[in-house]
Structure 1
Amino acid sequence: MDPLQLLDPGGNLHDDPEWTLDVTPELCRDLYRRMRIARSLDSAALALQRQGELGLWLQSLGQEAAQVGSITALRDTDHVFPSYREHAAALCRGITPAELLVQWRGNRHSGWDPQQYRFHIYTLVLAAQLPHATGYAMGVQRDGADEIVAVYFGDGAASEGEANEAFNWAAAAEVPLLFFCQNNHWAISTPVRTQMRAPLVQRARGFGLDAYRVDGNDVLAVHAVTRAVADRIRSGGGPALIEAVTYRMAGHSTSDDPDRYRTASDLDAWSLRDPIARLEALLARQGWLDGDQRAAVDAECAELAEQTRTVCRELPLGELSELFGTVLSEETPLLAEERRQFLELARSYED
């Protein structure tokens, strides 16, 4: 099953009678701006990690279209459960660079209020957010709220037991949930071809989910499919899955060396499908982005990068012993003992 594509790598538009989208200059400029801003933050955060200012960073490089195209097709009231590299989606919801970086600098478990942004905290435990999203969608269903729930995950997470349980649970309960998989071809160093013998969309349909496959580097196709599928779910059509076929251009994280398990030719081939360059080509061809508009986006990206560098270094380093008080609502004997051992270890360095 070929992924749906409305905008090819050369920036040429193609109509699809099933997935209509009013492609306006305003829409394209907005999506372009959001993807550029996300990449600017991503680059600044990578540099900060290499300078020792962040403990870890997981890049979203190459996946901007999948995230921006989907999140902008949802309503702001729809609750979103991300995994750990949905920086572009988070920025679209208004989460600030400081709120994004605080976790990776080691200050707090998370930097934002999920209720305020309708965007849950990052989940580093692979696929754990899928049952969480399913349970939340059951609450939405029982409340009769006019909203849906969306959950982001990768192809690697789709191999976890929690993912398959969530697919089955959501389908059986017919909850208003959109599963959005960014198939970036790699579960750390394991290629998708060795993870599964049947395409994810086929597996999802086996659980009773409506499932769709889209070119994840085509922001217009992602936007069109997500908007239509979200509307169908909202109207009572039951849960669905969208598989956005994209590529992780960087390593799994800053502690990963992707050169050890993939070839330069693969990376070069996917570089030609860059989601930002693709939309930029359309904007240029249609004359929808003039010099002043491009300069304004460039300036906004530079300002965000500078803001990211500044706020990161200004984040106060908290007392590590305080972290034990934020794990559980009530301290257990085991947690108290762990705190005691930590303090004893810390004092030993003072000596």
Structure 2
Amino acid sequence: MEAIVQKSFGPPEVLRLEDVDRPEPGAGEVVVRVRAAALNPYDWHMMRGDPYVARLMGGMGLTRPKTAVAGIDAAGHVEAVGPGVQGLEPGDEVLGFCPGACAEYARTTADLVVPKPAGLTFEQAAAVPMGAVTALRGIRTVGGAKAGHRVLVNGAAGGVGHFAVQIAAALDAEVTAVCSPGNAELVRSLGAGHVIDYTRQDFTRSGVRYDLILDNVGNHPLSRLRRVLTPAGTLVANGGGSPGRVFGAVGSTLRLVAANAFARQRLRVILPATPAGPARDDLLAVTALIDAGRLTPVVDRTYPLAETAEGMRHVELGHARGKTVITVR
């Protein structure tokens, strides 16, 4: 089968289209015939092997990638099931977390894929897992958004942000979206009642206070973010928001955790959603919102499998509108 293989850390040029053996399912596993795979900032961090401190934590490999085939978000149909798998059969259309998603076939555990909503294309479905589950955790699970809460999403048009706006709106919160002027119409259509153009206005100086801020960007100091939280409000930092090849978000995360010990406000950090944690329950929650018409994936661009490196370059620019998706035929 064809797959995007990475044998060393580095820029997008390290991603190569190669023929590799097709995976076979073990006990409790399924093999998915991938029709589309989505790219995330998580993927380019894995590609480049940064921040370096993450290599020491064992998640990506020390001197070369732990997983040879790129990608984790996928949509397709079940090709084969292993012993002990129940509720899934060959031919079922699914979406979920499939390590090695940028390939014609990917193997994963059966509990990490769920039925694909019938109204979605495979490209839309592939855009769901990491982005939507991260947004769900940031807005509902960790953020605790409720009806009537003032919720601000910084980076509202991105891969996580565009889902977060919709989830907050589905909870009947009053949503303020921070984005570029070119994305104002998009975020309004997704449920934002207020839009702040970050090129003209600094929301941390507006004087408006929010019950919840989901920060997907990390471009404001913690002290200024706290200034626009209500006294009992919640700040959820998506990954800590601090760049850097050596420590990445670790420094800002530690500062936030330390401040939380002395603050009445709730200061929390979430990491991009991966198979860890209650992934299946969260996937079912977001697909239920999709089936109810409350959540719609936005696909920015699509690239064929052979051009995955170009897709990764686009994601690295950090200005994607929704999700970047790889089509696999």
| TM-score (normalizing by structure 1) | 0.32
Higher relative contact order (CA 8 A, sep 6+): 1
Greater strand proportion? 2
Computing the radius of gyration over CA atoms, which structure comes out larger, 1 or 2? 1
| TM-score (normalizing by structure 2) | 0.33
